[in-house]
Amino acid sequence: MECNAVFRTERAWIEVSAENLHHNVRVLQEAMPAGCELMAVVKCEAYGHGLRQVAEELKIAGVRAFAVATIEEGIKLREYGIQGEILILGYTDVRRAPELKQYDLIQTLIDFCYAKELNEQGVGVKVHIKIDTGMHRLGIPYHASSDVEQVFAMKHIKVYGMFTHLCCPDSRLLEDVAFTKEQIGNFYQLVDALKKNGIAIPKLHIQSSYGFLNYPDLHCDYARMGIALYGVLSSAKEDTVLSLPLRPVLSLKSKIVLIRNVSKGSSVGYGRAFTPERDSRIAILPIGYGDGFPRGLSETGASVRIKGHVAPVIGRICMDQLAVDITDAADAAVGDIATLIDGKTPELISAPSVAERFGSISNELLCRMGARLPVVVI
């Protein structure tokens, strides 16, 4: 039997387009009102794109404000040489206040009691106050202005910002638009109350990606850019008020490591889930749900691209491997690259289209990536 050597060293990898990332930064910044700064949301390994790789490119692009979910992510950014502001959007144990100060991180105040406990640590900590305007997740209620005023008076709390999060800025349904505008109104109602009581208002931010794309005329000090920064929308079928020429940043690739000839009527993979109706050529790719390519894509019509051919994913996706039918790709061979996600064929393998096939959104799909796959910046 003749064996084909495989020369590429990686079994599967993520490609990050530095050019597209820089392009998206420019496009978003140019669309922002004067005085508004882009805050790059790089939590969850920069939405699966690779925290270090993305942060370093954003630094080159001139971005100076970042948002993460955890203190660990913030510390990593400092260790990677990232300067500027780093806001932790989620919970941090108050006993870690010395680390917040050591690494010059900004902590979100998730409610009033948390603010008091953080202040009691006796460590000067920079914070942004989260305001609950109707999402009822994190934050001090917008109508509790006396609590917010007390935060500004706390000895060891240094307030650098105040923000809220919108529940449904992606929706254009009339009732959702009305609710979003109510949230925005609630936030500014609090801001006005604080002003009347002599509180110096810190930097403000309301918009995440969809908040900006659907409510672009809001005047804030920051716009928190997550999924839009990476050049895709959450869903393939969404329209936004502001349409920008964003470019997808991530491609997910693997390679053919084995080709099987499978007879008509035979079965392939776990549960004998695929039975070819003709004699077939089956390619094995060394990538699976352990790499973030969801098992839920099994038997949903998911496809990959190999040498310009569209090859359907067949059978059940395994933790470390999957199979595709290359019967109609006669020139496909061991070592050929298979693209599982990119932005060149939106009807098939863009992140929103792939996510839709397993009933999710691009955000979740992309955040699954990066746990064990190498990231290559191109």
Distant-in-sequence, close-in-space partners of 157: CB < 8 Å, separation ≥ 6:
109, 115, 118, 119, 125, 127, 151
- Report the SS3 class of residue 167: coil
Greatest CA separation found in the chain?
84
AA letter at 98: P
- Report the SS3 class of residue 359: coil
DSSP string over 107-169: EEE-SHHHHHHHHTT---EEEEEEEESSS-SSSEETT-HHHHHHHHH-TTEEEEEEEE--S-T
The C-alpha torsion from 266 through 269 and 270 to 275, rounded to 10°, is: -30
C-alpha 66/C-alpha 25 separation (Å) is 13
Catalytic residue among 80, 160, 181, 270: 270
Catalytic residue among 43, 59, 126, 255: 43
First to last CA, the chain: 37
Tally of CB atoms within 10 A around 345: 13
Beta-bridge mates of residue 338: 254, 306
**Is 101 marked active-site?**
no
**Is 43 marked active-site?**
yes
Q: How many residues does the chain have?
A: 378
Angle (CA) 43 47 51, round 5° = 60
Residues identified as active-site: 43, 270
